Amino acid sequence: MRILIVIKSGPVKRFLVDLHTTDLVEEVARLVYRKRHASAIATALAKGRFQREITEAELPRVRATFILTEENVSWDLMQK
């Protein structure tokens, strides 16, 4: 599962991270369900496979299962 992590402090940073194991997907999902988004971001960045930083120009072409910020999470409706 690929997720796009958006960190809005200062200049906006966007990272594409692959959650490569089922256990990791479940751990991040559990944190999101409990509304612990910052912990979910930290877990994904620490344990997931970092793919690359995403620029503003690349955003329309990025495909991720969901988008995670410090405040909320949303599904990528454009994913195919």
Q: Is residue 70 part of a domain?
A: yes
| Domain residue limits at 24 | 2-75
Q: Is residue 28 part of a domain?
A: yes
Q: Is residue 53 part of a domain?
A: yes
18-75 tens-digit pLDDT: 999 999 999 999 999 999 999 999 999 999 999 999 999 998 888 898 999 999 888 8
* Structural domain count of the chain: 1
Q: Is residue 60 part of a domain?
A: yes
Q: Is residue 52 part of a domain?
A: yes
Q: Write down the residue that tokens 């970092």 correspond to.
A: 50
H helix or E strand, kind and range, residue 15: strand 13-18
Q: Is residue 80 part of a domain?
A: no
pTM, entire model: 0.87
